[in-house]
A and B are shown apart, each in its own frame.
Chain A
Amino acid sequence: MEELIKKTREIRRHILNMTAEANSGHPGGSLSSVEILTVLYFRLLNIKPDDPQWADRDRFILSKSHACPVLYAALCEAGFFHKNELKSFRSINGILQGHAHIKTPGVDMSGGSLGQGLSFGVGVALSAKLDNKKYYTYVLLGDGECDEGQIWEAAMSASHYNLNNLIAIVDRNRIQNDRWTHQVMDIEPFKDKWLSFGWDVIELDGHNITELINGFNKALDSTEKPTVVIANTIKGKGVSFMENNPDFHGKAPNQEQLINALSEIDNS
C-alpha cells in the first residue's frame, strides 16, 4: 500500500513537471485520476511493458485523452519508455503527443476527440469474447465527456452484448473545460443513467486506493453486465491551489506555481 501511495506522488510530480515544461496541457483532470491509474497500472493490469502489443494484455483506453500526462507518467513508471521522454511532452519529434496517440508504446487508442473511447472499448471487448481471451478492457471517461451522445450509444451496445469484460471508470471530478459540470450540462442522476442502460454501477472515492482495489475486483467478478466505476474525485487533487479550480483544467503551472506544487506533493 505504501508503495502505491509513493507511486501516486511520483506520478503527480511527473504531471506537474511535464505540463510546466511544455507550458501547456491539462493538469487538473490528470491529477484527479492519479489514484485510478496507479491502482490499475501497479496492481491490476496484466501487461508487459517490454511487449506493448502483447495480444493477451489487459487494455487501458484513455477516452478523456487530454489527461494524457497521467497516462504517460504511469506508462513511464511502468517501464514502457524512459523517463527522459517525459521532457518531450507536446514537443516536435517527441513520442508524447498533446493527446494520446496509438503509436506511443503502451497507448491503446488515439484520442483527443471526446466520446469515442467507450465504443473503442466495446470493440476490444467484443474481440476478446470472440477469441475466448481472458483479458479485460478498462476505459477511463471524463464526467464532462459524458455530454457526448456517443457515450450512450456505446453504453447501450455494451449491455446489449453482455460485455462483462468491459469496465468503464468515470473520473467524476465535477469540473469540465469552462465550468462546473452542473453549470455546463447537468448529468445527474448519473448513477441512474448507467443503471437504466443495463450496467452495474459502483460508486467510490476515486482517491482511496483500498476502495479502488475493492471496487475493481468486484467489477472483475461480474458474470453478465459491464460495470461502471463512478470515481468521485477532486480536480487538481494534491495541489491546493489547483484543487476544485476550473482554471487548471487546461492550464499549466508557471515556474513559481510548479515549485509550490512540488513542495506540496513532497510534504503530503
Chain B
Amino acid sequence: MVEKISTRESVGQFLADAGEEFSNLVILGGDLNKSTFSNIFGSKFPDRFFDFGPAEQNIVSVAAGMASTGKIPVVSTFAVFATSRPYDQLRVGVSQSNLNVKIIATHAGILTGEDGVSAQSIEDIAIMSALHNFKVIVPCDVIEALQATRIAIESDGPFYIRLSRPATPVINKKDYKFVLGKGSQLKDGNDATIIACGIMVSYALDAAKSLQDVGINCSVINMSTLSPIDMDIIINSAKDTGAIVTAEEHYISGGLSSLVSQVLSTNIPTPLESVALTSYAESGKPEDLFQKYGLTSEKIFHAVKKVIDRKKSL
C-alpha cells in the first residue's frame, strides 16, 4: 500500500514553521484558510496573517505592494481563485514588475472533485506559464512540495506552486533533492519516455510497470517545474527513446503537453502522445472522474504503445 500524504496540510504546517526562520514571511488568505491550512500560520503569527475575504484581485495587488517593501507575501487560496480571477493583477502587478510574490494554491485540477467544473482549475498551468518571470511548480508529492515551497521562499521573484486537495501518493525517497527547473528521472528505459507532473507521476510509474511486463522498457520523468521547463532532460531523453508521452491533470492546451511539444519541435522533432483533459469534467469523486475523463495508467499504457508504433513507422 502506497503511503498518501496531504501536500496542502504539510505545506500549511511548513509555512507556520518557516515563519520563525523568515521574519518577512506574511500570508494573505481569502476566507479559505482552514482548507489551505494557512490558519496554522495565522494562529502562530496573527500579526503577519491577513484575511481579505474572497477578494482575490485585492489580495494579489496587496501582496505586490507588500513585496515592494521587502516582505515575502504568500497568497494562499484555491487554484481557480488564485489564478483565473486575479489574472490581470498577476500579470501587471506581479509578473511585469517581477515582484517577490508567492502564489501557493491548493485544490487544483479535477482532484478537487465534487465541487464541479467551476472549482476545477484545469487551465492554471497554461495561464501561469504564460506569465514571464513566474516559476511554475507542480510537485508530485509531499517531499517535493515541501522542498519547492522552501526554494520559493528563499528565492527572489514570483512563484506559482500547484497543490491538490486530497492526500496523494508519496513517490520520492526521503533523500530526494528537488532542483528548480530540473526534471527528475524516476526510471530508466529506452523504448519510450513518459513525462508526467503532479498526481500523474504515480500513474506514469504504474503504467511503466505494466509496460515492463509486456517487454516495453519506459523511461519516466517527473517534470515538476513547468516554467522554466527542463529542455535538456527532454531533448536527451528524446534522443535516447525517440518516443514521448506526456501525462498531466490539466487541459491538453497550454500545459505539460504543449510545453514539451514546443521543446521537441524546435529541437528534436519526436512523436508525442498526450494524456490530458480534453474537456471540462463535472462533479464526482476524483477516482471516478479520473476514469471517466481518461487520466489513468491504462491511458498512459496505450499512449506509449501508440507512440512506439508511430516511431517504428517513421
Contact = CB atoms under 8 A, between A and B. Distances in A.
Interface of A: 55, 61, 101-102, 108-113, 115-117, 119-128, 130-131, 149-150, 153-154, 156-157, 161
Nearest to A121: B65
Interface in B35-55: 47-48, 50, 52, 55
6 contacts: A112-B92, A115-B57, A116-B93, A119-B62, A153-B52, A157-B52
Given A122-B65, A130-B48, A157-B58, 10 more contacts: A109-B65, A110-B97, A115-B57, A116-B64, A116-B88, A123-B68, A124-B69, A125-B65, A153-B52, A154-B61
A148 to B, nearest CB: 9
A161 B48 CA distance: 12
Nearest to B60: A119
A113 B61 CA distance: 12
Contacts of A153: 52, 55, 57-58
Contact of B62 (A113, A115, A122): A122
B93 A120 contact: yes
A127 B58 contact: no
B89 interface: yes
B96 interface: yes
A128 B240 CA distance: 55
Contact of B47 (A113, A122, A130, A157): A130
Question: Is the contact region of chain A dominated by helix, strand, or loop, or is it mixed?
Answer: helix
Contacts of B67: 123
A127 B71 CA distance: 7
Contact of A123 (B55, B63, B88): B63
Chain B at the A interface: SS class: helix
A37 B47 CA distance: 33
B73 interface: yes
Contact of A120 (B26, B47, B68, B91): B68
Given A116-B89, A154-B61, A123 B97 contact: no
B116 interface: no
B69 A110 contact: no
Nearest to B89: A116
B50 A109 contact: no
Contacts of A161: 50
Interface in B282-298: none
A127 B47 CA distance: 11
B66 interface: yes
B68 A102 contact: yes
A101 B96 contact: yes
Contacts of B99: 102
